[in-house]
Amino acid sequence: MSDVGAQTSTKIISNLRDRIKKEKIENEEDVRNALREEIKAILDEVDNGLKLATHPSVILVVGVNGVGKTTSIGKIANRLKQDGKKVVIAAADTFRAAAVEQLEIWANRAGCDIVKKEEGTDPASVVFDAIQITKQKNADVLICDTAGRLHNKKYLMDELVKIKKVIDKELPESSKEVLMVLDATTGQNAISQVKAFKETVDINGLILTKLDGTAKGGVVVGIVAENQMPVKFVGVGEQIDDMEIFNSTDFVNALI
């Protein structure tokens, strides 16, 4: 609970006190259950469904370095493929050494097409090409990888804006999900990450990774509450099937 954040913690505690008083709760386990329900109510305020209503739809994946974007893309692509969707992946992380190769491995494992260019290419041009191929192949979903970027590096954040503009111009009618990947072990630093990225691109939801270790990911409760931003997926392991749709009940039971 320490990572939840002051504002959200205050709200939860206030609601819990009122409830304890109103319902005359005395038993410790009943208090714990009431706390779980208060947190679950916050998480359930926002719809965590993936909005892929159009053909094609686009998922743009963003986040800082090392949070597991590439792995998450492979897992999401695999889920969509299993659901009968035809998926194209844009390897628009053209800065990190071996990023394209790593993504290609995941794409092959998921059985998806990948669009790539040489290292150092303008990422927006990769996305542009991927959009054309998505149209040609009549694919259902285009998933765009992006380079991990520090939220305080303006030129890198501007690059995200450029990528989003290309998507909006080439696919104006398409459903667009901008998903930010957060490392569950990050703690309070995740709040500033979300704030900065949200100011640059309109984030629709979160992917929480590395939840298979000791990390509880409590920080996302505050992020969801203060941004009305749902957690859509959680990564719970290293295998291609280790990506689950976020379940607030399971999450809260692990947290409390």
**How far apart (Å, rounded) are the C-alpha atoms in residues 2 and 149?**
27
CB 168 within 8 A of CB 114: no
DSSP annotation string for 61-92: EE-STTS-HHHHHHHHHHHHHHTT--EEEEEE
Quote the radius of gyration of the chain (alpha carbons, Å): 19
pLDDT for the residue numbered 27:
85
Q: Retrieve residue 151's tokens.
A: 């939220």
Q: Tell me which of 55 and 191 has the higher pLDDT.
A: 55
**How far apart (Å, rounded) are the C-alpha atoms in residues 86 and 157?**
30
CB 243 within 8 A of CB 234: yes
pTM: 0.91
- Over 60: is that where the pLDDT of 102 sits? yes
Percent of the chain residues topping a pLDDT of 70? 95
- Does domain 57-255 fall under CATH 3.40.50.300? My reply is yes
The mean pLDDT value for 198-216 works out to 83
Please state, rounded to an integer, the average pLDDT across all residues of the chain.
89
